[in-house]
Structure 1
């Protein structure tokens, strides 16, 4: 079993960037109000969570999502509609917040499974990510509504309610998968050059 590489400063910087992007993605409708369906804000979080896995890898991508989660639980208004704390996690959308951690990990693992990832690998990883988000998030929403929020909703209705959101996320997921390879390889060059500079000094 290979020894796990330690995180470098540039790795942690990029992870921090994705924590910030998740906070922005959660509240993008505060700046672009028309991105709503039935007064429910559309989130860019799935896009950034998947991109974190694609660009940072499984460990660092998942870590950035864990940090995002704990920043919100600690009281920073980084969840949707500038919410925070455990109340947001126990709400109907709490499962989506939790889903970003395994999503980034799974997406990263798929990219790491090949030495030279191509567009098809980015597409596979991205759609595995969106599947994970909706599998965890929608099931959690159904359980939350029916068991502790006291709102009756059938399992089928829960999935139907997510249709518009899923359509948006599928489009953005495909877009992210297409642009990710160029960013991925550029990022690898930057991190490689950073390592070489450190060794040379």
Structure 2
């Protein structure tokens, strides 16, 4: 039973790694969905959903795995980016933030049964994504990447206004969806033996 549970956890984690990768590139075919060098993707949605569904520990492992396989050269990042060079990209902070975002989302909903904590956890995780990602972007442009003319800290946050409405709506949807999955699919059958909320 223990081995079966671990296999199922591994399968779910792998599924979310793939979903984050797919979400990273759904909008690649629409070039104008890039604002200030930031591609508007569904990465955050699936990263947060991973934390809500898998729990803090497994959610963090899943998003760490996603970041790792991208850094070793598998093109899973937005616009099919990959490799260690991504560490120096202004947008890498958003990828890095997925780990803490997923972990936080999972921890917030631990032992929670109502939908409200799920939505709050999702919005909190999205805020973490924005804070880490935007600050990384600002310092990257200021310290090692060529910044646009007249670039300021306020401009970095101004760029984030474009994806903000979409991310707020998706965060609420992720919370509702994760809660629904918990009270239906994840509370039945072979999923019951898993510790996905841990």
Shorter-chain TM band: 0.7 to 0.9
Q: Does 1:149 align with 2:145?
A: yes
* Distance in 2 between residues matched to 1:35 and 1:7, nearest whole Å: 43
From 92, 95, 107, give the equivalent of 1:94. 92
Q: Which runs of 4+ in 1 moved over 3 A?
A: 37-41, 190-195
Distance 1:35 1:118, change over 3 A: farther
Offset at residue 163 of structure 1 (A)? 0.6
Deviation at 1:29?
Answer: 1.5
Are the aligned partners of 1:25 and 1:45 in contact in 2 as well (CA < 8 Å)? yes
TM-score under structure 1 length normalisation: 0.86
Report the equivalent of 1:189: 188
* C-alpha separation in 2, matches of 1:179 and 1:192: 17
Q: Which moved more, 1:99-108 or 1:149-158?
A: 149-158
For structure 2, the 5+ residue unaligned runs are: none
Q: What is the alpha-carbon distance in structure 1 between the residues aligned to residue 192 and residue 125 of structure 2?
A: 30
**2:122 matched residue in structure 1:** 126
- The answer to whether the 8 A contact 1:119-1:177 is kept is yes
The alpha-carbon distance between structure 1 residues 37 and 90, as it changes in their structure 2 partners (threshold 3 A), is closer
Aligned residues: CA RMSD = 2.1
**Residue number in structure 1 paired with 2:33:** 36
Give the secondary structure class of the aligned counterpart of 1:151: coil
Paired residues for 1:29-108 under 5 Å: 29-30=27-28, 33=30, 36-38=33-35, 41-108=39-106
Point out where structure 1 has 5 or more consecutive residues left out of the alignment: 1-5, 196-201
Give, in whole Å, the separation in 2 of the partners of 1:190 and 1:48. 24
Q: Deviations over 1:136-167 (max 9, x none)?
A: 00000000011100315211110001111122
Change (3 A) 1:19 1:147: same
Give the superposition deviation at 1:189: 1.8
Q: Of residues 131, 135, 158 in structure 1, which corresponds to 2:131?
A: 135
Instruction: State the Cα distance separating 1:188 from its structure 2 match.
Output: 3.2
Pairs aligned (count): 187
**What SS does the aligned partner of 1:8 have?**
helix
> Which TM-score applies when normalising by structure 2?
0.87
